[in-house]
Amino acid sequence: MPIAKISPSLLSGDFGILAAECKRMVSHGADWLHMDVMDGHFVPNITIGAPVISCLRNHLDAFLDCHMMVSNPEKWVDDFAKAGASLYCFHIEATQDASALIDKIHAAGMKAGVAVKPKTPVSSVMDLGHKMDMCLIMTVEPGFGGQRFMAECMPKVQELRARYPDLDIEVDGGIARENIDAAAEAGANVIVAGTSIFKADDISGTIETFRQVVNTAQAALAKK
C-alpha cells in the first residue's frame, strides 16, 4: 500500500528566503519538497533551475521533488542530478521517447516521474507504470499557482491506481481541505499543495490532516 507523502509546493513560499522556507516545511512534517521548474517556453512562466537546486542541497537533506515544466527535458537531466535533485518529473507532452528518458534519469541516480496535463489522456503513460517511480496527474493547467482544482481529472487517477496499486501517484493543483478527500479516494498518495499549506493557520495540522486522509483512503482501497 503506497503511503502518504505530503509535498508542499515552494512556488507558494518566499523565494527570497527559499532555504529557510524549505526547512520550515520540513519542520512542520513535510515528506517531500515540491520544486516547480518552469522555463518560460513549455509554460508561460519562469521560476528556478539547477543552480537554485544545487544551492538548496547545500542546506537540506530533504527529498527534492522536481517538477520539470520544460521543453526538451532530456537536456537538463545531468544538471539536475549533479545539483542534487531526488526525483526528476518530466511532462509526457514534452518528449518523444519517455521510456528512454526514464532510463536516462535512473542512470543519473534520480527517481523518475512522468507528468500528465489535464487535457492529456492517461493512456499516454499507462504503459510506463513498470518503469516510472511516480506519475503526476495535474489537477490544474501547469504554469501558475493558485488555480482551481479540476475534479474532472480524478478518473485518470482512478484508472492509474487500478492498474498500478503500488505506484506513487501525485496530484498537483488547487489541493485543499475541501478536495483532498476526492483526490485521496481516487487513489492519489503524493499530495502537492501550495497555498493551502503555506497560508494555513496551522501548517503542521494541515499536513497531518492531509496525511491521515490519504492513508485512510489507501487502506480502504487496499481492502477492495
Residues marked as catalytic: 36, 172
Does 40 belong to an annotated binding site? no
Does 174 belong to an annotated binding site? yes
What is d(CA 28, CA 44) in angstroms, rounded to the nearest whole number? Answer: 31
Does 67 belong to an annotated binding site? yes
Tell me the three-class secondary structure of the chain, residue by residue.
CCCCEEEEEHHHCCHHHHHHHHHHHHHCCCCEEEEEEEECCCCCCECCCHHHHHHHHCCCCCEEEEEEECCCHHHHHHHHHHHCCCEEEEEHHHCCCHHHHHHHHHHCCCEEEEEECCCCCHHHCHHHCCCCCEEEEECCCCCCCCCCCCHHHHHHHHHHHHHCCCCEEEEECCCCCCCHHHHHHHCCCEEEECHHHHCCCCHHHHHHHHHHHHHHHHHHHHHC
Does 129 belong to an annotated binding site? no
Does 146 belong to an annotated binding site? yes
Does 15 belong to an annotated binding site? no
Does 206 belong to an annotated binding site? no
Which grid cell is 112? 523518475
User: Is 69 exposed, middle or buried, given 0-12, 13-18 or 19+ CB atoms closer than 10 A?
Assistant: buried
Does 9 belong to an annotated binding site? yes
Counted residue by residue, the chain has a size of 224
Task: Give bridge partners of residue 64 from the DSSP assignment.
Answer: 33
- Extract the annotated binding site for a divalent metal cation: 34, 36, 67, 172
- Extract the annotated binding site: 9, 34, 36, 67, 143-146, 172, 174, 194-195
- Extract the annotated binding site for substrate: 9, 67, 143-146, 174, 194-195
